[in-house]
Structures are given as structure tokens and as C-alpha cells.
Structure 1
Amino acid sequence: MIGTSTLEAPVSDQIDSSTAQPARRYNYWLGGKDNFAVDRASGDEILKTFPTARIAALENRRFLQRATRFLAAEAGIRQFLDIGTGLPTADNTHEVAQGIAPESRVVYVDNDPMVMVHARALLTSTPAGRTTYLEADLRSPETILADPELRETLDLGRPVALMLVAVLHFIEGYGAGAPIVRTLMDALPSGSFLVATNSTKDPLPPKMAADYDAALAAGITNIWPRDRAEFTALFDGLELVEPGVTPVSEWRSEGETEPRPNPAHVAMYGGVARKP
């Protein structure tokens, strides 16, 4: 079942094909076809600075799938709030979770109308569970939490996994992500989990790190990198699950193809933590 927010205008009227959108650019890097020329041009421009961006996108996606399997199979989580879900591809959060526990319920949130079009068509739930899509922005966590469809789908009195995968790095500014994470986690009960990833410059050689800074200043990219200390602070008050904060390519990756990518080719931290 798909739930959608009420819109004032047809979705097709809201899709902006003249401005690059993160979800469509990510889709391009993953080899998808749901993108426009402007998204491909933006993606190619970023690849000039960070040539392994496609590897990072793929490894981030695999981290999401491994984290979801851990939550559903080992932690017993049956409710997921996935913000910044992006365009549907294979093995989305609800497919992984419901493959383990068909009764799992998932709320997807994204601010791109094109994502909603595809969500309506593709994000179908098992009969035992439920999948709902909300059009909203991570920058307005109170709006997300107050949405009646979220409340109809998830029981906020029971543990929920908050999934913030490849979305926090669109919140620009040092320390800017922490208040948003805190607002969302404060609304969830004990036993809930936070799953998060964020781009980082930490493993980059000096020249590439300088190029990243120049690309940010020039507006070529809006992917805001966070160092290990700032990213780890997002989990303050929570209990990090082993192995803690790591490159996304190394988080519980024992079953992945070897050799694992060089952390500098991924340049993204990931972590999973439980609310005590």
C-alpha cells in the first residue's frame, strides 16, 4: 500500500528538469535511467573532482542493505523511517526488511516530486506490512513527525529505525546536522536505532581534499563533508553497534566481494546506533 501527501499541483508540474537533483544524480551514478541531462552533467562535473563517486554510491547502497538486514534479522526492528530515500532501485529498505519480516512497516520521505512518481508505482508492500511515501524535507523534521500518514503507518510508541543514508551531507554547515538528528531521535522510543552515512574528506589525499573544497566554493557540489568527530557526534547519547563508525564499505562487510575498496575511493562514513 502506498500513502502520499496531498499536493496543490500535479506532480508532473513540480518536476524541475532544468536543475540537477540529488536523487536523480545518484540514480545516474548507480546506472539508472531516471535522470535528466542536467543531472548527468552535474554528476559528470563532480566525477572530475571525485572520480570514484560511482563506487561511493554503490558502497553506500550496500551499506544500507546490510544495515537493514541487521536491524530486521538481529535487532528485531519492524518499523523504518527512511528519509532521503531517493529513486527506487533494487533491494530498497522495505524489500530487504519485508524479505526477513513481512509485517515490517516503512515510511519513505523525500523532497523530490519525481521520486514520488516512482514510489507510487514501485514501492509496493507485502500484504502483511505497509509502505508509505511522504513528500517532505529533512530540514523540517517537525513536519515529517507530524504528518498523519506517518502516524497511521508507524507506531511511535514502539522502536523505529531512523534511516538517514546519503542525505545528511545535503545539510550544509558544521554542526548543522546534529539538531535535526536530535529532533527526530527524541521523538522515537527506547530501542530505536539511527542509521546514518555522510561524505567525508578524511581519507582523501591533500590535492583531492583541496579540489573538494574548491568544488564546494564554486557550487559544483553541495555535498557537505563531515570529519569523523562531527559525524560521530551525531550519535551522542546512543549506543554504537559494532564496529562503530567506519567507512561504509567496511561496516559488517564480511560477505561482500573482496578486496574491499580503498576508503579514499569511498570517502563516506557510516554507523548504526541504538537509543538506550
Structure 2
Amino acid sequence: MAHGEESQAHYIDMETPSVARMYDWLLGGVENYQVDRDACDRLLRIAPNSQQLARTNREFLRRVVRIIVTDFGITQFLDHGSGLPTQDNVHEVAQRVTPDAKVAYIDNDPMVLAHGRTTLHENSNTMVIDQDMRNTERILEATKEFFDWTKPIAALFVSVLHCLPDTDDQRDPAALVKRVAAALPAGSCMVICQLVSDNPTVRRDVTQLMAESTHNRWGRVREDHEVRQYFEGMTIVDPGLVDVIDWRPDTPPPPPDMRPTEWVEWGGMGLL
């Protein structure tokens, strides 16, 4: 069993699109089914730059993890909604800088869990936690002996909060962020970005498509001011909250006329 796994059978649903498998296809991966590719085709008709956005987001993840280790000296990572293993996973990026960096991956997609166990089982500085990312208490319990909780930890919510619906309880995305932030040691940080759009038609159509495709295993495309609220009480790291293509890029970002116009990945990094 993966850490934190419930004593129940895990069923891989090949008839319903999976957000993790759709993201895998958008990144050029092969761990997906026809139903996922069909859903991506529908998504691309609404938001043609979705594939570019997925790759931009992955490049941001690589940069921010590297910078967290090199510039802030944080070597412990809690990766919420980690998705299918691909090239340059969080532990690979971090361990290239510091071989003893530790990463706990959190996901409850059966295919993610299966591939995670296979890919990571020989790396003692990684663990896979089989939990809904909103089950903070169980996640903390699973990592109690894995992390040094007297030292800073980087909590990652990279392109996942749009998968969570708004609620009136502690399962709400904003409540989740606050709960995790309150549990982290002093000096920790949080990385948050999600899909946002200024276009109400794009927000409505993508949200509706993903909700229908995934049988309501989806949240909502939001606006940037809503993501900004997640960072309340944190010190925002330069260059602030931005389209992630502009967050400390390794190469000059594209000019405005070559960028996605329908939606972007928006967010940044906050210190606690």
C-alpha cells in the first residue's frame, strides 16, 4: 500500500476522463486513454492554447522547485495533487540540487498511485500518499516521521485548485490553503497557481465541459483576484502573482501577441 492508503480496492475507470490523464496527454505523455484524448479535443476547441498552457505550467514547476532549494534552502516538499509521474518530477528537480531533498506526493487517482509506486519505490526520499488532497490531518499524520517538522516545508498546489469546487465547509479550496499554511513550520512557503480567465464565456464553458466529462470531479475556472485571496497573510515573493510564464523565467517570455488569450495559469509563491 502507499502511505495513507485506505483499505479498499482502487478501480481505474477507463470510461470517464481523468484530469491527471488529460494533463498527461497535453504534456505529450502516453499514460492516457481514448476517452481522455477525446475530452482534450473538446477542451482545445474551447481553449486552443490549453496544450501550451500545460507545458508552461510544467516549466514553472521546474523553476520554482529549483529556486526554492537554491535560493531559500528548503528541501522538503508536500506536492498536492501531484498527477502522473513524468519527466522532471519534483524530487528529480530538487535532488539534482540537493540529493537528500524529500518529496511527499499526494493523489488519489488510482492510475497515479499505480505509476507512482512503480516509479518511486527505489527512492527512499520520496513517498506517495493515497489521499484526497483536502484530507489534511491524514496527510500530516502520514508525513509525521518522513519530514523533519522543525524545518521549513514547501507546500505545492500547482494547477490543482481549479479541480476543487467551492464549498461552505473545510473542503473549500481557500479553507484548505489556510489549514495547510497553519500546519507548516516557520519559514515554510506555499506555491499556488490555477487556471484563470477574464472571459466569462471561457470560464463557463471550460467549467461545464470538465464537470460533465469527469462526472463532477472538477471545480471551477476562477479569476485572478480569487487566487490572490489564497495568499492572504503571506509575504509574496518577487515578481509577485503573475501569469506563471513571467515568474522568474529562464528565457525571455513570449510577447503579448504570442500568448494564450482565453486563459492562463496564474499565481506565485508566498512565504509563511
TM beyond 0.5: yes
CA distance in 2, matches of 1:177, 1:141: 12
CA distance in 2, matches of 1:30, 1:72: 25
What is the match of residue 236 of structure 1? Answer: 232
- Correspondence 1:152 to 2:145: yes
What is the match of residue 210 of structure 1? Answer: 201
What is the match of residue 166 of structure 2? Answer: 173
Query: Deviations 1:93-140 (Å, cap 9, x if unpaired)?
Result: 0000000001101100011011111111212566xx600001111222
RMSD (Å), alpha carbons: 2.2
Q: Secondary structure at the match of 2:43?
A: helix
Query: Which of 85, 89, 94 in structure 2 is aligned with 1:88?
Result: 85
Query: What code does the residue aligned with 1:8 have?
Result: S
Q: Secondary structure at the match of 2:88?
A: coil
What is the match of residue 141 of structure 1? Answer: 136
Q: 2:203 touches 2:221 (CA, 8 Å); kept in 1?
A: no
Q: Secondary structure at the match of 1:151?
A: coil
CA distance in 2, matches of 1:116, 1:256: 36
Query: What code does the residue aligned with 2:194 have?
Result: N
Unmatched runs of 5 consecutive residues or more in structure 1? none
What is the match of residue 182 of structure 1? Answer: 178
Q: Secondary structure at the match of 2:140?
A: helix
CA distance in 2, matches of 1:220, 1:112: 18
What is the match of residue 25 of structure 2? Answer: 28
Q: 1:247 touches 1:270 (CA, 8 Å); kept in 2?
A: yes
Q: Normalised by the size of structure 2, how large is the TM-score?
A: 0.89
Q: 1:169 touches 1:199 (CA, 8 Å); kept in 2?
A: yes
- Correspondence 1:192 to 2:188: yes
CA distance in 1, matches of 2:184, 2:23: 29
Unmatched runs of 5 consecutive residues or more in structure 2? none
Query: Deviations 1:226-267 (Å, cap 9, x if unpaired)?
Result: 222111111111111100100011110143675585152651
CA distance in 1, matches of 2:136, 2:47: 30
Query: What code does the residue aligned with 1:199 have?
Result: L
Q: 1:197 touches 1:269 (CA, 8 Å); kept in 2?
A: yes
After superposing the two structures, state which structure 1 stretch, 96-105 or 169-178, moved more.
Answer: 169-178
What is the match of residue 247 of structure 2? Answer: 251
Query: Deviations 1:165-198 (Å, cap 9, x if unpaired)?
Result: 0111111238932110011111001110000111
Query: Which of 125, 134, 137 in structure 2 is aligned with 1:130?
Result: 125
Q: Secondary structure at the match of 2:221?
A: coil
- Correspondence 1:227 to 2:220: no
Query: Deviations 1:12-71 (Å, cap 9, x if unpaired)?
Result: xx1111111110010011110101111111111111111111011000101100000110
Query: What code does the residue aligned with 2:126 have?
Result: T
CA distance in 1, matches of 2:5, 2:179: 24
State percent identity of aligned pairs: 34
Q: 2:2 touches 2:130 (CA, 8 Å); kept in 1?
A: no
Q: Secondary structure at the match of 2:148?
A: coil
